[in-house]
Structure 1
């Protein structure tokens, strides 16, 4: 028997080597894959242009997680011009195949460890009241960093042009 093979009832099966997830700055080509991941999830839909634009202009503060060159997670984020000590997370997504593995937390850790975020003291995101997964993610992230997570009103429901969007609450995590 060769290495990487297992004998199962006198039959030989080749095992797939363990895959590794890597964290990278997104390329323009990753924009479409990020859009596809969102399109196949319950995340808020944005145009494909938004993801390509984020990859072009904000690659330093965006992260793609890849397994075997396939995008399995990402964060789009930017540093607001008026708040240079904050990185604002616009959207974070994880492929269904990776859920429950802590990938979202790893992506956030990669983000704040980037050179572009060296002066960042806070991470901010907005989350709807019904998005329990994101609420848990950001609260857990604050606990892991041994810092505060302040939740406050941000964008009221009335600001959105359709009746389909809930209010957005601000999650401010820090200081780091």
Structure 2
């Protein structure tokens, strides 16, 4: 290939999709690269990709996993819980976190959710910014309360996790259901 052709930047192809178990290893590597996210076992990511695929998202950029959301519907509640949001350093600055969250909230499997929940430590500025941005974009209200506390739940080994709740506006849910 001529050198001048090598310098032409090709368009990048971003796909948001449900995961499958073959994504487990790539998801595990991505989470490991996204400090300070808690690392789970690779097996945990395999199970998430299989059992909770309807409420998880993989972002694929030119064939590489560059984004991941793990989540689930909370049993006996109309709430979607987002466990982790991971964006590869290679894909930062694309608004990928919010794109993945919006994609997830708009899925048919999440139609019954009246709110989105996640937990965030006070010092995680990036997560606070992401979920505040999502709340504004959806037209929802964001609130938070201490949930898993440093001493009561983490034996002093981890900062308090605040339960963040975003109400999902009724018109948006009705539009998804239609």
| Alignment TM-score, normalising by the size of structure 2 | 0.88
Deviation at 1:41, TM superposition (A): 2.0
Q: CA RMSD in A?
A: 1.5
Provide, for residues 38-74 of structure 1, a one-character-per-residue CA deviation record: whole Å limited to 9, x for no partner: 1112111111111111011100000000011210001
* Residue from 52, 60, 64 that aligns with 2:54: 60
From the two aligned structures, give the one with the greater strand fraction. 1
Larger radius of gyration: 1
Match for residue 13 of structure 1?
Answer: 5
- 2:121 is equivalent to residue 128 of structure 1: yes
Say which of 106, 118, 126 aligns to 2:99: 106
Counterpart secondary structure, 1:65: strand
- Structure-2 residue corresponding to 1:73: 67
* 39, 43, 50: which one aligns with 1:45: 39
Q: Which runs of 5+ in 1 are unaligned?
A: 6-10
Structure 1 residue 95: Cα displacement: 0.2
Number of aligned residue pairs: 166
Runs (4+) of structure 1 exceeding 6 A deviation are: none
Q: Between Structure 1 and Structure 2, which shows a larger proportion of helix residues?
A: 2
Deviation at 1:100, TM superposition (A): 1.7
